[in-house]
Each structure stands twice: as structure tokens, then as C-alpha cells.
Amino acid sequence: MPENRREQEKKREFEELFVPLLDNLYNIALRMTRNPKDAEDLVQEAYLKAFRFFHRFERGTNARAWILTILTNTFRTKYRKKKQEPDIVDFQAIENFCLADEMVKIIRASDKSEARGAGEVIRLLKDYVSDDILEALEAVPEQFRLAVLLSDVEDFSYQEIAEILDVSVGTVKSRIFRGRKILQKQLWDFAKERGIVRDTKK
């Protein structure tokens, strides 16, 4: 039957476009919900919605951006209230924070030689393990975290992120800036808490 065949064709096309994106969406959902169970539910719901609204997808446009928009909107309406979000951040305190500068200070304070430089700072940065970075990301409030993830993990342009989050490019820019600063400040706080580094300001 033609109707049946059209339905089959639609499913095949949908699967071809979106099933290969599953790992990618799951990773982002994990970082959004911060919990595997919710991430699974979120991804499943996004796929169902995407399939239901597949007729609205314009062929030839970016499928990843399209389904990520659905995922983001689903997350925002359904899951954002569930888990306590981190406290509102004091932006003035973080605006000028620079993790690299803090690291340079430590290296200078501890190293007798004059060897400072990027190599050493980047080595310190790479001492952080994935879990540190993931934990620090969790402390970044949602709106900033999303913008950073869409840029750093998904490699979307500011314009694409603006469309996904339905905000202006200027807002995207400022959210990415602040999100990265908060992330770095958090990483720095971890390092101090764990005694990995000495606080040179004391």
C-alpha cells in the first residue's frame, strides 16, 4: 500500500539521519540532566518528538542542530526544575578571574628557576582528570553550561547556538564568556580544596 510505503520510507529516513547522533545526544543530555536515568528519558523523549514533528524538518538543513533544539527545549520545560541548580553566581567576582594567571602565580611561587611559560601551565591544566572537569561543569548554572556545551562539545557557531537557545548572538557570547569563567573558577576551587595547589593569595 502506498500509504504504508510512505510511512516506511519516513521511518527509514528518520533513522538514517538521527540514529547515528544518539551517542552525541546522550552525552549532551548527561551534562544537562547530570544523571544517567534522566538523560535516557530526555533523549528518548526528544527522539519521539522529533519523529512526530519530522514533517517540519527541512531537508538539507542541519539535522544535529534541529534535534538538539528539540532536546534543549524538552530539557528546559521538563527537567530544569527537578534538580537544585547551583546558586546564582557572583559575576563581579568571576568576571576578571583567569585560571591561567592563578597557575602562573603558583608556578612562580614554587619554582626556584625562572622557568614559567605556557608549557608548565598547560601541564597543570592537564593534571585535571575528566571527573574534575565534569564536576566543575555541574556547578555552572544551566543557561551558561548549555552555551558552553553547544560551543565546546558540539562546535556550533554563535549564530547556531543563538537559534537553538532562542536568544541573541550577544547573549550567547556573554553566556559562553561567563560559563567558561565560572568553570575555571570552579576548577581552581577544587584544586585548592584538595590541596593540589597552594593558595598564593593567603
Partner 1 sequence: MTCQEAVNKLYEYIDSELDRATTEKIKKHLDLCRLCCDQFEFEKTMKELVHKCCDAAKAPDVLKEKILKSLNP
Neighbours of 75 (CB within 10 A): 21
Nearest-angstrom CA–CA distance, 30 and 35: 6
Closer CB to partner 1, 89 or 137, in the complex: 137
Closer CB to partner 1, 81 or 161, in the complex: 161
Nearest-angstrom CA–CA distance, 166 and 160: 10
Nearest-angstrom CA–CA distance, 111 and 90: 32
Shortest separation between residue 173's beta carbon and partner 1, angstroms: 7
Nearest-angstrom CA–CA distance, 187 and 81: 25
Shortest separation between residue 176's beta carbon and partner 1, angstroms: 6
In 3D space, the residue among 10, 8, 4 whose CA is nearest the CA of residue 51 turns out to be 10
Closer CB to partner 1, 44 or 110, in the complex: 44
Shortest separation between residue 131's beta carbon and partner 1, angstroms: 8
Under a CB-based contact definition with an 8 Å cutoff, are residues 52 and 145 in contact?
Answer: no
Closer CB to partner 1, 42 or 89, in the complex: 42
Chain residues binding partner 1 by CB under 8 A are 11, 14-15, 19, 22-28, 30-31, 36, 40, 43-44, 47-48, 51, 98-100, 117-118, 121-122, 125-126, 128, 130, 133-134, 137, 148-149, 151-153, 155, 157-158, 173, 176-177, 180, 183-184
- Amino acid present at 27: N
Shortest separation between residue 193's beta carbon and partner 1, angstroms: 19
Closer CB to partner 1, 119 or 202, in the complex: 119
Shortest separation between residue 11's beta carbon and partner 1, angstroms: 6
Shortest separation between residue 96's beta carbon and partner 1, angstroms: 11
Phi then psi for residue 50, to 5 deg, are -60, -40
Q: Residue 7 has which C-alpha cell?
A: 510511512
Closer CB to partner 1, 50 or 81, in the complex: 50
Lookup result for grid cell 539521519: 17
In 3D space, the residue among 173, 178, 170 whose CA is nearest the CA of residue 90 turns out to be 178
